[in-house]
Chains A and B, each alone.
Chain A
Amino acid sequence: MLAQQLFNGLILGGLYALLAVGFSLIVGILKMITFAHGEVFMAGAFAGLAALGLFSPGVALAAALPAAAGGAAILGAVTELVAFRPFRRGPEMTPALITIGFSIILQALALMLAGADTKPFPFNPDFGRWTAGGVVFSGLELGIAGLALAILAGLGLVIARTDWGLALRATAAHFQAAQLMGINTDRVVLSAFVLASGMAGIGGILFGAHYGAFYPLMGVVISMKALAAATLGGIGNVGGAVVGALLLGLIESLVVGYVSANYRDVIAFSILILVILIRPAGILGRREEEKV
């Protein structure tokens, strides 16, 4: 029972992580936030679903991932260009309001185009099922976990090792200084949005596969959870977001297993608020001293 809950929690945490690192990337660089990330996730899921329908099951899975990532990435780029780029120096409220508008528009469009009803996964993604130590693993779950892990590890490597990663870190550390050093910060920000959104899109199609459900509001709750996870890990800190996401996934599945499924969301959001109030820098972060 416990082992099974932990395994479920890890899968959930992996899905949260794909969104949470995106929040952390964006907030880390811009110190501003997008409220459309959940809808980018949803749009990616639907783009993937559309691709699934176009191909035979064998090819479909290979086509769904790039479709989801690509569709979401385009939306991410639009978000950056329309909501953020013109307002780099303005109050942080301005882009946030525009992204709220985006999120409402994307939900409404999805509702109009796809309808309110829940779409199932078009075929049965059965890749076998094994039992070990009382825990049931399905091939699909292992695939999801593996893919999420690979993407997150890849992201970590890219940030740590590549020139782009260096430019990203420099921009996050000090936007103006990075600009003065000749870094094309606009390009860094755009690529961060593309990357964050692409990961959200993959998260969307994996979520759809895992729960066998696609619906216009599918991004609402999970994006708030991911935001909670990113905050838990110290928003702006990509590694922290992964830790926060896994932790939140574990806590939630334990709450579901041992307390009540009704209160799992309450607990997630309570954690969010508590962390913001007590340790805004997150569990891994250091407290920043306020400057006058």
Chain B
Amino acid sequence: MNLAELRGISKSFGGLAALREVDMAIEKGEIRGLIGPNGAGKTTLFNIMAGNYRADAGSFRFEGRELLDVAVNDRVSLGVVRTFQNIRLFGTMTALDNVRMGFHCRTAAGWLASAFNTRRAAGEKAWVTGESERLLAELDILPYRNEAAKNLSYGNQRRLEIARALASRPRLLMLDEPAAGLNEAEGRQLLERIRAIRDSGVTVLVVEHDMNLLMAVSDRVTVLAHGQKIAEGPPAEVQADERVILEYLGGGAGHAAG
């Protein structure tokens, strides 16, 4: 069954077409890789799905619901959650508070309830704290719970961002170059982590420069070039695809190798 279905997505920036009629269907429970040489439009597509960009045309159905007109923050409560290539944590907040932010869309305490710390608000707070610590522990960063996020090491910031995203209980987790800046050991850990997330029932979309990692982790891969989809299928199949080889070896190789 398809969890997400993109149809005819087009987007241009100042007359320059970034995406032309792109279709993509993501199956529930898979890890989908999204690749393409620089300027292929993968980041644009990613941002359109997350809601940061507005598509010029097309449709994005998620669990049967049209999302293109849904605001970014509302997509989160519907289950579409993203991370950022350049890690966007709440720098002055502690690691624990960053994860707590992930629970924002799953909790309800409003201004009045919080102002008077009603029993419900207090109960909710305690629950969020417990769950957040559980997530921090799961990602091996519990010892840093009271550190300001901006003071964490790069690798731990990456983990924290994933913990925060998981806290919002996504049904489609969108990872934007999650391996950027990680060393090989950290990259392998990430690979295991992504599989574990998939096994817990979350569908994952990964945009990644690191071809080895992407091919190793993805169940299926979608390849974009010049704003169009040129191939789609299991990694082995895609790697053997003539057009893909042409695009990557003829000009785009340097970027693709990452």
Contacts and interface: CB of A to CB of B under 8 A. Distances in A.
* A and B in direct contact, judged by CB atoms within 8 A: yes
A292 interface: yes
Contacts of A292: 47, 52-53
Q: How large is the interface on A (under 10, 10 to 19, 20 to 34, 35 or more residues)?
A: under 10
A262 B24 CA distance: 64
Contacts of B52: 292
Contacts of B53: 292
Interface string B43-66: 000010000110000000000000
Interface residues of B, number: 3
Contacts of B47: 292
Nearest to B51: A292
B98 to A, nearest CB: 20
A292 B52 CA distance: 7
Interface in A257-292: 292
B114 to A, nearest CB: 26
A292 B54 CA distance: 11
A292 B82 CA distance: 14
Interface in A89-146: none
A292 B53 CA distance: 7
A291 to B, nearest CB: 10
A158 B52 CA distance: 42
Nearest to A292: B52
A292 B84 CA distance: 12
B95 to A, nearest CB: 23
Nearest to A289: B14
A50 to B, nearest CB: 48
Nearest to B50: A292
Interface string B19-50: 00000000000000000000000000001000
A288 to B, nearest CB: 12
A292 B47 CA distance: 9
B34 to A, nearest CB: 18
Interface string A26-59: 0000000000000000000000000000000000
B86 to A, nearest CB: 12
Nearest to B54: A292
A184 B209 CA distance: 37
A237 to B, nearest CB: 21
3 contacts: A292-B47, A292-B52, A292-B53
Interface of A: 292
* Closest CB pairs A-B (n = 3): A292-B52, A292-B53, A292-B47
Interface of B: 47, 52-53
